[in-house]
Amino acid sequence: VLGRRTYDMWSGFWPKAPSSPMADAINAATKYIATHRPKSLAWGPFEGLGPDIVEGIRRIKSQNGRDLILWGSSTLTSTVLDRGLADDVLLLVYPVLLGTGKRIFAEGTPPRSFELTSTKAFPSGIIMNSYKAAGPLRIE
Amino acid sequence: VRKLVYAINVTLDGCCDHTKAFLEPRGDGSNEGMEEILQHYTRLLGETDLLVYGRKTYQLMVPYWPDVAKNHSMPKAANEFADTFDSLDKLVFSRTLEGAGEKTRIVRTDLRDEILRLKQEPGKLILAGGVALSSQLIELGLVDEYRIVVFPSVAGEGRRLMEGVSLKEKLPLQLVETKVLKSGCVALRYAKA
């Protein structure tokens, strides 16, 4: 599941990427795209989410199949979290200070709590934390 | 030679406002999660012999915690944190603060020189907290270790860690330790690479 901007970035990269388990899996997977211009989609297999993105994601979730991954796509991520459509959230923390740059979770995202389900540190110092959505956060 | 450690709580969206990084109490008002956080910081204070603050953070901590230490008015974990906090020397960097509590020295100028001098002295950790002063310490490259507790929530608003900090180049860190607390907070410890 990708927003249009991430899809456009990925479609310029993955189809030409050398074969690897990750590239092959991404190229083979169905890409469900949030877009107003479904006619201009080219990198497949793809399917538009339709004019109502939330309804589109609900429809796909209700079908049988393997898990859906929403990746990057910060605009779409806000919508998906706000509407309670994400079952698990995986956050990777890199061991670097930048000071500036694009933030995940835009200003104005409704307060929300999560339950930590696992954490794993890689030899590189990258940490992968997995969370389950646990509903809105009650501010004291 | 001693290390300067910066400790801060953040939410998943990087908000470091002290009113936003919190854990909800249980229905009966108890809050084991926050007690565990206080125990975490009491241990860190045990490795520390000097606290370094800007005015705002200092005034959040003092007289609040010394009062708790005096009256033991809170649950055990908070009283123990207060006792340890109260016993430590403090340094406040401020141009305007006129008076301060016990064991506190006010410094007006030359943040960099003062910290470099203190680092040369023997002793335990120097611990900095808060945002404004710590941002300067990070920019000046004076922070040796980062101890960041990541809370399992999204705040959606409020000041974010590193907001307004201008680094000449990105600063790589080395992950030293991760510790998972029962509440789902993850305590991260990084050293300057």
- Residues whose CB falls within 8 Å of the CB of residue B93, separated by 6 or more in sequence, listed in order: B52, B53, B54, B55, B107, B108, B111, B114, B133
Give the 3-state secondary structure of residue B129.
Answer: coil
> How high is the pLDDT of residue B39?
97
B140 in reach of chain A (CB within 8 A): no
What's residue B88's pLDDT?
A: 97
Q: Which of B142, B158, B140 is nearest to B9 (CA)?
A: B158
Task: Please judge whether A116 and B170 are an interchain contact, meaning their C-beta atoms are less than 8 angstroms apart.
Answer: no
- Closest listed residue to residue B68, CA positions, set B83, B89, B56, B49: B83
Q: A83 or A21: which carries more pLDDT confidence? A: A21
Chain A residues with CB under 8 Å of B24 CB are 113, 137-138, 140
- Checking if the pLDDT of A139 tops 70, the result is no
User: Max CA-CA distance within chain B?
Assistant: 50
Span A94-126, pLDDT tens digits: 999 998 888 888 778 788 899 999 999 999 999
pLDDT tens profile A8-59: 999 999 999 999 999 999 999 999 999 998 888 899 899 999 999 999 999 9
H or E element at residue B40: helix B32-46
Q: Which residues of chain B have pLDDT under 50?
A: none
Residues B41/B45/B51/B52 CA torsion (nearest 10 deg) = -40
The sign of the torsion formed by the CA atoms of A47, A51, A54, A56 equals negative
Residue among B12, B135, B151, B182 with most chain A CBs within 10 A, to mutate: B12
Q: Is B56 helix (H, G, I), strand (E, B) or coil?
A: helix
Q: Which of B48, B70, B64, B71 is nearest to B129 (CA)?
A: B48
Which stretches of B35-180 are assigned E, i.e. beta strand? Answer: 48-54, 89-93, 104-107, 125-128, 145-150, 153-154, 171-180
Quote the minimal CA–CA distance from B180 to chain A in Å: 8
Q: Do B170 and A98 touch (CB under 8 A)?
A: yes
CA distances from B114 to A40, A62, B54, B127, B136 (A): 61, 62, 14, 14, 13
Widest CA span in chain A: 52
- Closest partner residue to B186 among A96, A104, A116, by Cβ? A116
For B112-128, the pLDDT digits (tens) are: 999 999 999 999 999 99
What are B193's two structure tokens?
């690479």
Does B174 touch chain A if contact means CB atoms closer than 8 Å? yes
pLDDT in tens, B71-108: 999 999 999 999 999 999 999 999 999 988 899 999 99
- Which distant-in-sequence residues (6+ apart) come within 8 Å of A21 by Cβ? none
Looking at the partner chain, which of B153, B171, B185 has a beta carbon nearest the beta carbon of A137?
Answer: B153
**Nearest Cβ partner for B12 among A96, A114, A127:** A114
H helix intervals, A1-140: 4-11, 21-28, 53-62, 74-82
Orientation of helix A74-82 relative to helix A53-62, angle to 10°: 70
Element (H, E) at A91: strand A88-93
The pLDDT value given to residue A83:
86
For residue A126, the distance in angstroms to the closest alpha carbon of chain B comes to 8
Closest by CA position to B146, among listed B159, B128, B131:
B128
Instruction: Work out whether the CA dihedral A46, A52, A53, A54 comes out positive or negative.
Output: negative
What number of other Cβ atoms are within 10 A of residue A128's Cβ? 13
Question: Cβ contact (<8 Å) for A137 and B154?
Answer: yes
pLDDT at residue A92 in the model: 95
Q: pLDDT confidence of A140, banded at 50, 70, 90? A: low
Q: What is the pLDDT of residue B28?
A: 87
Q: CB distance B175–A95 less than 8 Å? A: yes
